Structure 1
Amino acid sequence: MRLDRYTVGNYSPGAPLWQQLAWYYLGSPLVSSYWLISSNIKCWLLRCFGAQIGSGVRIKPGLKVKFPWRLVVGEFVWLGENCWIDNVAMVTIGSHTCLSQDVYLCTGNHNWSSPTFDLQDAPIQIGECCWLAARATVGPGVEFGRGAVLCLGSVTGRSLAPMTIYAGNPAQPIKERKLHPDSDPDRVDTGNSLTTS
């Protein structure tokens, strides 16, 4: 490879330089802060920088987001400690989905067959009611079907079928996800009653 000839081609960060610098020096440190614990304030900051964030989102300390203007998060999503959303391309996370500690979402890659190591990017789309367990890693272009689970420390570069549990590196389907007989995947337990999501 000739890394001295590397370029990003037509790629753009998607925001003016002032916005990138403001995020890097102000927004990102506050969102990832262990001192600022309020999820509401962190969601507000992400929205100020262009993210689309639903209601009831919980953000734990250490969250890293590369470009908030390329992030869409549904309602009642949990973003665990030290999650890294490396979104050079769009990342969409469906409602009622949990990203546990140290989950890594990678939307950028390089063409290893190119002498100039060209940048390649592809979006990640995670459906509703999914769970990415601690230290799970997701590659560019992956889509999660509704209710899919990626187990502890698993790595995937391919899309996951709905209501299926995957484990390993590379992640393989190990079994169907079955909910408790009394539960309904189209309903959400709010603590006092069941309401349709």
Structure 2
Amino acid sequence: MRAPINLAAAPGSREAWDRGFLWVLAWALVEPLLVRNALQLSSRARVGVLRMFGANIGEGVIARPGLRVRFPWKLEVGDRSWLGEDVWLHNQDRLVIGSDVVISQGSFITTGTHAFRTDMALRTRPIHIHDGVWITSRAVILGGLTIGQNALVLPNTVVRRDVPANAIFGAQDGAVVGQRFPDSSDETQDR
């Protein structure tokens, strides 16, 4: 069996910031107070704060309480989209959400992962969610994906590959799909 990875030696993730320390610190202070806040504050105020920090957000966007955004300067949202309660946009890379998109409560969208077979270095890949998509509650969307126009992602689905336009996409039951550390010496690139 392979020895555990030394996490103390893992490469850091500051390269994903794309902004200076003080800017990131300011966002870390403002986000919990004015965006993530669970009170029924104005959606316009949430959207305004996201825009102040560099998000490109269209008209008529609804941002519900509990919304978390890792880096607003890497976020683009089209017109009339809804970001539901407790949605977490963990966008360490570019995240493009089209117009008329609904991202329902508790969903998690992440552009980042780690090189789990080697040194745990941060790996990021952008996500593009096309117009008219509905990501239902508690879905998980992983980096490097495109979700096609008018697709629907079912509740509790983990999306690991592109979703075609107009598809209803979901998984039935969980299953073991592979080994973290293959027995062979073939160490392919992490997903």
**Superposed, which structure 2 residues align to 1:131-170 within 5 Å?**
131-168=134-171
Structure 2 SS opposite 1:168: coil
Output the amino acid matched with 1:118: A
Task: Name the structure 2 match of 1:188.
Answer: none
Residue 11 in 1 paired to residue 15 in 2? yes
Output the amino acid matched with 1:157: R
Question: What is the TM-score with the length of structure 2 in the denominator?
Answer: 0.84
1:155–1:170 contact (8 Å) kept in structure 2: no
> Matches of 1:124 and 1:12 in 2, distance apart?
15
Task: Name the structure 1 match of 2:83.
Answer: 79
Instruction: Choose between structure 1 and 2 for higher RCO, CA contacts under 8 A separated by at least 6 residues.
Output: 2
Residue 46 in 1 paired to residue 41 in 2? no
Give the alignment's Cα RMSD to 1 decimal: 1.7
**Superposed, which structure 2 residues align to 1:54-65 within 5 Å?**
54-65=58-69
Task: Name the structure 1 match of 2:181.
Answer: none
How far does residue 158 in structure 1 lie from its aligned partner after superposition? 0.4
> Matches of 1:9 and 1:154 in 2, distance apart?
27
Structure 1: which 4+ aligned runs deviate by more than 3 Å?
A: none
> Matches of 1:74 and 1:7 in 2, distance apart?
34
> Matches of 1:44 and 1:134 in 2, distance apart?
25
- Count of aligned pairs between the two proteins: 170
Output the amino acid matched with 1:26: V
> Matches of 1:92 and 1:132 in 2, distance apart?
14
Task: Determine what percentage of the aligned residue pairs are the same residue.
Answer: 32
Residue 92 in 1 paired to residue 96 in 2? yes
Q: Deviations over 1:120-141 (max 9, x none)?
A: 1101110000000000000011
1:65–1:84 contact (8 Å) kept in structure 2: yes
Q: Deviations over 1:53-95 (max 9, x none)?
A: 0000001100000110010000000000000000111111000
Range 2-11 or range 91-100, more displaced = 2-11
Task: Name the structure 1 match of 2:180.
Answer: none
| Unaligned residue ranges in structure 1 (runs of 5+) | 172-197
Task: Name the structure 1 match of 2:72.
Answer: 68
Residue 170 and residue 3 in structure 1: after superposition, are their counterparts in 2 closer, same or farther (change >3 A)? farther
Residue 128 in 1 paired to residue 146 in 2? no
More strand by share: 1
Residue 87 and residue 9 in structure 1: after superposition, are their counterparts in 2 closer, same or farther (change >3 A)? closer
